Amino acid sequence: MNLYISALNGSITEEDLRLAFEKFGKLKRVFLAKDKVTNDSLCYGFVEFENKSDGVKALSMNTQNLNGSDIRVSIAKTKTSSPFGGKKFGKKF
């Protein structure tokens, strides 16, 4: 199960995300979005759990404080096609 994490503090790292969410279960991947030029955090990311039930438990982190910011946690929505020719887009992490 993939979760979308937003409203992150700009100083948070992928390691911070991993530590905050691994207590709910085994993670497959952690991704923190960064600006391609400056490498600054874009204040959102994703965590992917091996088991759906662990991801459901991790939804309890919604509105919890993480490194000084009340984060938002929701189920990630996947982009499967584009209205421009049906090409697939979006980045899997």
Model confidence at 81: pLDDT above 60: no
Taking the C-alpha atoms of residue 10 and residue 83, their distance in angstroms, rounded to an integer, is 32
Per-residue pLDDT tens digits for 30-57: 999 999 999 999 999 999 999 999 999 9
Q: What is the pTM for the complete model shown?
A: 0.82
Q: Which domains does the chain have, with CATH numbers?
A: 2-75 (3.30.70.330)
